[in-house]
């Protein structure tokens, strides 16, 4: 009798876990998503054949926007900006090259639901 009651308790708890998993697949997907990201590049000085190459460390900023058309289809646009400068040093001269980099990208995003990635996006 104790074995039967224990089995019924285990079956009831497992059915509740399956019920919770079924509810998770119908989670809410927001219509608009905005992302802000930042990063940095850290470099070191290199000397070769009497020329010293010294790239500078720089920061990176990225802003993105995603519009979810349906639960599985969306459109995304990103904008990224960073500054890069490099210095070349010899015994007599110093040359510097500075650039501002602006990047804009766009993409169509397809969210294919499966068991492995249902918790990640």
Per-residue pLDDT tens for 53-99? 777 778 889 999 999 998 889 999 999 998 877 777 777 888 878 88
- Which of 58 and 14 is assigned the larger pLDDT? 58
pLDDT, position 83 = 81
Identify which of 40, 75, 35, 87 has the alpha carbon closest to the alpha carbon of residue 60. Answer: 40
**Quick one: DSSP state of residue 57?**
P
Identify which of 56, 62, 59 has the alpha carbon closest to the alpha carbon of residue 76. Answer: 62
- Which of 14 and 110 is assigned the larger pLDDT? 110
pLDDT, position 8 = 64
pTM of the model: 0.56
Please give the C-alpha separations between residue 96 and each of 17, 18, 47, 86, in angstroms, as whole numbers.
63, 63, 16, 6
Per-residue pLDDT tens for 15-59? 555 444 444 445 667 889 999 999 887 888 888 877 777 777 788
Q: Report the b/e string of 11-30 with b at 16+ CB within 10 A.
A: eeeeeeeeeeeeeeeeeeee
- Per-residue pLDDT averaged across 3-18, rounded? 64
Task: Select the CATH number that applies to the domain covering 29-110 from these four: 3.50.50.60, 2.40.160.20, 2.40.50.100, 3.40.50.720.
Answer: 2.40.160.20
Identify which of 56, 43, 48 has the alpha carbon closest to the alpha carbon of residue 97. Answer: 56
Phi, psi of 66, rounded to the nearest 5 degrees: -125, 135
Contacts of 20 (CB under 8 A, 6+ apart): none
Going from N- to C-terminal start, the domains of the chain cover 29-110
Instruction: Give the pLDDT band (50/70/90) at residue 1.
Output: low
């Amino acid at each position: 009798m104790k074995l039967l009651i224990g089995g019924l308790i285990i079956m009831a708890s497992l059915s509740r876990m399956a019920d919770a998993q079924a509810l998770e697949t119908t989670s809410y997907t927001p219509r608009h998503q905005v992302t802000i990201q930042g990063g940095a590049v850290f470099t070191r000085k290199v000397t070769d054949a009497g020329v010293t190459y010294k790239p500078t460390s720089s920061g990176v900023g990225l802003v993105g926007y995603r519009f979810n058309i349906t639960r599985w289809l969306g459109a995304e646009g990103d904008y990224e900006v960073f500054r890069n400068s490099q210095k070349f040093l010899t015994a007599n001269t110093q040359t510097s090259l500075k650039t501002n980099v602006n990047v804009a990208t766009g993409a169509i995003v397809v969210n294919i639901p499966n068991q492995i990635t249902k918790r990640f996006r």
